[in-house]
Structure 1
Amino acid sequence: MHMSKQLIFEFLEDLSVNNSKEWMDKHRNRYEEAKNVLVELFDPILERIRLFDPRVVQPNARRALNRINNNLMFHPDRPTYKDHFGVGFGYGKGLADFYVHLGVDELLIAGGLWHPPSYKLKLLRQEIDYEGEKLAITLKEQLYPKGFRLYHEDKLKSSPKGYSNDHPHIELLKMKSLAVFKPLSRGDFYSEDFSELVFDSYKAIVPFLDFINTAIAEP
């Protein structure tokens, strides 16, 4: 499997320097080959995750694979194609989910809520206001010991409206995306223990996802 996993990065590296529809059309067989390797790898992982957590809606790894095309309607400056494969497992559209990112320069396991609309962010902040200690304990006891970090780049510079600067969870309240991530190496991905690493990470991240999804659930 190690040798076949290398096909993924060989394809992505070539794509990133030949980022055009013409090149992709000529090398579609390599794209399909890379996807097949990912499906073969992630199908058993997803099966195990679904046994552990039947709420996961993706029926198979092929459905969990994100599109490799960038959305150029809203971001016309982006390249035609992404330089990574993304695999996402979750509970439905608009909810916090679990994500594995396999890119040319960056590999990581992540989870959370990315750039939510303002009404969801408001609900999340209300939950942090009342139940922030629960979230803080989840981060400190379940996620940080497993190598996860809180994504800090997307946050307000000052306290959000309605919350004081001396709030005990002000740093969490400032977040505009609430997500955690764990950096990986290609060595982690090539390892025979990769499947175990993904499954253990999923188990660790579920209480974090549940906190977010409870906060933003439709009444």
Structure 2
Amino acid sequence: MSFNSLYTFLRDLQNNNNKEWMNAHHETYHQNRDFLIAWLEEMNLKLAEIDKNYFNTPGKNAINRINNNLMFHPNKPIYKDHFGAGLDQVSKQGDFYLQFGVFETFIGGGYWHPSSKVLRSIREAIDYDGEELKHILSKKSFKEMFGSLVKDDPLKTAPKGFSQEHRHIDLLRRKSFAVVRPFTLEEVMEDEFEAKVIATYREMLPFRRYLNKAVTV
């Protein structure tokens, strides 16, 4: 198995998104899933070597279900168009997310539309030392890799408890704090892909640690 076979399987699945087809290709699904679990396991060990605070996340724990949750999203297809996984996965914190999909392949981190409680904690951290977050976001290497924070629909006014004149009002009005680095299928197939994943983890780490500290302290 390889990433090439994984993407081939995903494309076939999207053209046949039903239980009958999946049952007939059960073995192929598990072969590709097992390949990705093994790859994640290797990456888990490599990331632990470069980050003393890394939270061990074995491949089987990292990988997400391929089934969509139809209870909450009944209009979605039965199966997702991607394999997703989270490394450095501490409960109730923002993990290091990897998605390998037919339409989108990327690495992301942070908090996308978090709960009001989590969002309040992040805003309080920004109120206390938002300069640190702005320093992280303005770093040249960070901007070259991720650009800016993922676009969201910010509040039109200051959130409750904060002044419209706050020095960090641009951040306080946000509803999400996340970054994404997209990859092409060609990049995933290259020998240098693992090195790019590690480099992405390193660059994102201060950003993720800032947010996770805000949520847990």
TM-score normalised by the chain length of structure 2: 0.91
RMSD: 1.8
Partner residue of 2:118? 120
In the alignment, the residues of structure 2 paired with residue 124 and residue 79 of structure 1 have an alpha-carbon distance, to the nearest angstrom, of 34
Change (3 A) 1:9 1:59: same
- The Cα shift of 1:79 comes to 1.2
SS in 2 for 1:149: coil
Bigger shift: residues 46-55 or 63-72: 46-55
2:209 aligns with 210
Partner amino acid for 1:196? A
Specify the code of the residue in structure 1 equivalent to 2:190.
Answer: S
* Cα distance in 1 between the residues matched to 2:135 and 2:90: 26
1:148 Cα offset (Å): 4.4
Q: In structure 1, what residue type is equivalent to 2:16?
A: N
Q: Deviations over 1:75-130 (max 9, x none)?
A: 11211111001121124221011111111011111101232211111111111112
**Which residue is equivalent to 1:61?**
59
Runs (4+) of structure 1 moved beyond 4 Å? none
- Whether the 8 Å CA contact 1:149–1:182 is kept in 2: the answer is no
- Equivalent position amino acid for 2:86 in 1: G
Equivalent residue runs for 1:182-197 within 5 Å: 182-197=181-196
1: CA distance between counterparts of 2:165 and 2:65? 42
Aligned positions of 1:1-219 closer than 5 A: 4-141=2-139, 142-217=141-216
Larger CA deviation: 15-24 vs 46-55: 46-55
SS for the counterpart of 1:180 is strand
Q: Is the 8 A contact 1:155 1:174 kept in 2?
A: yes
Q: Which runs of 5+ in 2 are unaligned?
A: none
In the alignment, is the contact (CA less than 8 A) between 2:152 and 2:175 conserved in 1?
A: no
Aligned residue pair count: 216
Assess if the C-alpha contact under 8 Å between 1:112 and 1:179 holds in 2.
Answer: yes
- The farther-off stretch of 104-113 and 143-152 is 143-152
Deviates more, 1:119-128 or 1:59-68: 59-68
Instruction: Give me the identity figure in percent.
Output: 38
- 1:148-206 deviations in Å (ceiling 9; x for gaps): 43111253333322333343322221222211001111111011011111111111111
Q: In structure 2, do the counterparts of structure 1 residues 90 and 155 end up closer, same or farther at CA, with 3 Å as the change threshold?
A: farther
Give the 3-state SS of the residue equivalent to 2:182 in structure 1. strand
